Amino acid sequence: MYELRAVEKKFPGVHALKSVDFKIARGEIVGLVGENGAGKSTLMKVIYGAYQPDGGQILIDGKAVRFANPRQAMEKGIGMVFQEQSLIPNLTVMENIFLGYQEQFTRLGVIDWKAMAAAARKQLAKVKLDIDPRMVTSALSFAQRQLVELAKVLTLEERVEGDLVILLDEPTSVLNKEEVALLFKLVRELTSRASFIFVSHRMDEVMDLSDRIYVMKDGQVMDVLARGQAEAPEIQRKMVGRDIDREYYREQKQVPYDADKVLLELSGVGISGRIEDISLKLHAGEVLCLVGTEGSGREAILRTIFGMVQPAEGEVRIDGAVQPRLTPGSAVARGVGYVPRERKIEGIVSGMNVYENMTLSQLGRYSSWGVLAVGREKALARDWIAKLKIKAHSEYADCGNLSGGNQQKVVLAKWRSGGSRIVLLDHPTRGLDIGAKEDVYDMIREMSADGVGVVLVADTLEEAIGLSHTIVVLKDGAIQHVFDCRPGAKPSLFDLLHHMI
Partner 1 sequence: MGGILSRENIIRWAALLVLLALIALFTALNPAFLSQRNLARIAIAAAPAMMVALGVTFVIVMGSIDLSMEGAVSLAAVLFCLLFVKLGGALLPWGWLAVPVIVLFGAFYGMLTGLVHVRLKIPSFMASLAMGFVGTGAAVMITGGEIVRIGDSTFRMLLTWRILGYPLMVYVAIACIFVALFIQKHTVLGRNFYAIGGGEELAHASGVNVRAVRIAGFALAGAFYAIGAIFQVAKLGQAEAATGANFMFVSITSVVVGGVALWGGVGGVWNAVVGVLIVNVIANGMVVIGLPNFLQDGVLGVLVILAVVLATDRRAVAFVK
Residues of the shown chain interacting with partner 1 in the complex, contacts defined by CB under 8 A:
12-13, 306, 308, 327-329, 331-333, 338, 340, 342, 345-352, 356, 360-361, 363-364, 367, 370-372, 374, 401, 414
Handedness of CA 408, 413, 418, 419 (dihedral sign): positive
SS3 state at 387: helix
CB atoms near residue 247 (< 10 Å): 12
**What is the smallest separation between the CB atom of 361 and partner 1, expressed in angstroms?**
4
Cα 41 to chain centroid distance, Å, stands at 15
Residues shown for the chain: 501
Q: Which CB sits closer to partner 1, 72 or 350?
A: 350
Q: Which CB sits closer to partner 1, 12 or 488?
A: 12
DSSP 77-135: TEEEE-SS----TTSBHHHHHTTT-GGGGEETTEE-HHHHHHHHHHHHHHTT----TTS
**What is the smallest separation between the CB atom of 302 and partner 1, expressed in angstroms?**
11
CA distance 152 to 87: 9
Q: Which CB sits closer to partner 1, 214 or 415?
A: 415
Q: Which CB sits closer to partner 1, 77 or 335?
A: 335
Q: Which CB sits closer to partner 1, 43 or 332?
A: 332
**What is the smallest separation between the CB atom of 368 and partner 1, expressed in angstroms?**
10
Q: Which CB sits closer to partner 1, 197 or 358?
A: 358
CA distance 87 to 29: 24
Helix/strand/coil percent split, the chain, to 5? 35, 30, 35
Q: Which CB sits closer to partner 1, 39 or 418?
A: 418
DSSP for residue 136: B
CB atoms near residue 48 (< 10 Å): 21
Q: Which CB sits closer to partner 1, 349 or 478?
A: 349
In 3D, which of 210, 207, 139, 198 has the Cα closest to residue 173? 198
**What is the smallest separation between the CB atom of 71 and partner 1, expressed in angstroms?**
14
Q: Which CB sits closer to partner 1, 62 or 370?
A: 370
**What is the smallest separation between the CB atom of 377 and partner 1, expressed in angstroms?**
9
**What is the smallest separation between the CB atom of 371 and partner 1, expressed in angstroms?**
5
Beta bridge partner(s), residue 2: 24, 60
Residues 6 or more apart from 267 whose CB is under 8 A from it? 279, 314, 315, 317
**What is the smallest separation between the CB atom of 449 and partner 1, expressed in angstroms?**
25
Please say whether the beta carbons of 101 and 111 come within 8 A: no
Cα-Cα-Cα-Cα dihedral of 24, 26, 182, 90, to 10°?
A: 80
**What is the smallest separation between the CB atom of 241 and partner 1, expressed in angstroms?**
27
Q: Which CB sits closer to partner 1, 241 or 329?
A: 329
**What is the smallest separation between the CB atom of 162 and partner 1, expressed in angstroms?**
30
Alpha helices in 155-288 (DSSP H): 156-159, 177-190, 203-209, 232-240
**What is the smallest separation between the CB atom of 159 and partner 1, expressed in angstroms?**
24
Q: What single letter denotes the amino acid at residue 258?
A: D
Please say whether the beta carbons of 366 and 418 come within 8 A: no
